[in-house]
Amino acid sequence: MGLLPDVARSLSVTIPQAGYLVSGYAMGVVIGAPTVAMATAGMPRKTALLALMALFTIGNIGCALAPDYWLLMVARIVTAFAHGAFFGIGAVVASNLVPREQRTQAISLMFAGLTLANVLGVPFGTALGQAAGWRAAFWAVVAIGFIAFLAITRFVPSGMPGTRGGLAKEFRALGRWPVLLPMLISTIASVSMFSLFTYITPLLEEVTGLTPHGVTGALLAIGVGLTIGNLIGGRLADRNLLSTIIGAFICLVIVLGALALVVHMALPTLVLLILWGGIAFALVSPLQIWVVDAATDAPNLASTLNQGAFNLGNATGAWIGGVALNAGMHYGQLPLLAALVATVGLGLTLSSFIDPRILPAQISPAE
């Protein structure tokens, strides 16, 4: 995201067109999540994680070498095929390694890798891309992929089997509204975040008036907020899942509304963006464990498909933001668009109180 202007200039496309590379990756996750989940269902969990990390690394080599926009899009989609299944399987593995009352914290710790990608990867990838060209950032990801493959080999325990038959039963289990509702909320939360986050660099440069180096620092600070919010969200959700989700959506709407009012001022904008990132990522692991708990008879597939739902939101958010900009909306108005979408997520969450049967017993309001 931090390299969108550089990619756009290099490949002779507009910034919204470059933003569709984010959408393409996210849609690759959406399509790849169920496909790869089925292909890896029978594998031991560690073997599946290793295979997915290898695919991710190979795909990023393709991104680094892509000579034009469309081949870069294809490489991004290939890379994305590993993403949904990796996080889906990883979340279930993490939750099975700890006592029940610490499961959301375990998932948030695994997702801390995703938030560290924002703390380190987005700002330093942006800085590296600005200094050595955007392809250098992809080569750095390739190197990290090799390190991650070795880390999985060394640290992830063996002996966790895959699914032995019953995939059809798992898919049937996912058709229930109590499972689909938290997936839909995950999608909406992601639409809200990425309708703004995809275009954060031009917003900070053109509206707030930061220099490219200032944007790098701002992205680093936002990444810190993402990491802290993710970990706090996991802790709070282990105490009361629904209260955490509802409270996060309410805070999200308030912070985004305030951001739209002060987006021309550097310091208030930075403070609110840090809060926004923390609140947005405080939703990730609670929504993931809600899906897993709702689909007790299909946890691996549900966890993987929720990653697809989250990335469907990434793609939709980037697309909606691009459509709004092309229709005449200014970068400074994107926080209002994100707040409107977050309000929809809040409404859907509150709708779970209408029918008590929607909520698994372990996450009922009386927990």
CA angle (271, 275, 276) in 5-degree steps: 115
pLDDT of residue 270: 95
Contact 94, 109 (CB under 8 A): yes
Structure tokens at 211: 């220099």
pLDDT of residue 167: 61
**Gap between the Cα atoms of 43 and 292, Å rounded:** 20
pLDDT of residue 165: 57
Closest CA to 141 of 69, 67, 82, 219: 82
CA angle (194, 232, 187) in 5-degree steps: 30
The secondary structure of the chain in percent helix, strand, coil, rounded to multiples of 5, reads 85, 0, 15
Closest CA to 303 of 45, 50, 8: 45
Contact 348, 185 (CB under 8 A): yes
pTM: 0.78
**Gap between the Cα atoms of 223 and 135, Å rounded:** 22
Q: Rounded to the nearest 5°, which phi and psi values hold at 364?
A: -70, 160
Q: Where are the domains of the chain?
A: 4-356
Q: Is 102 helix (H, G, I), strand (E, B) or coil?
A: helix
pLDDT of residue 61: 94
pLDDT of residue 60: 93
Q: What are 328-337's pLDDT values in tens digits? A: 999 999 999 9
Q: Report the topology of domain 4-356.
A: Growth Hormone; Chain: A; (1.20.1250)
**Gap between the Cα atoms of 188 and 344, Å rounded:** 7
Residue recorded with tokens 């109180």: 353
Q: Which residues of the chain have pLDDT under 50?
A: 366-367
DSSP 363: G
3-state secondary structure 223-280: HHHHHHHHHHHHHHHHHCHHHHHHHHHHHHHHHHHHHHHHCCCHHHHHHHHHHHHHHH
pLDDT of residue 163: 67
Q: How many CB atoms lie within 10 A of CB 285?
A: 31
In angstroms and rounded to an integer, the radius of gyration of the C-alpha atoms of the chain is 20
pLDDT of residue 130: 81
Structure tokens at 239: 């105490």
pLDDT of residue 323: 93
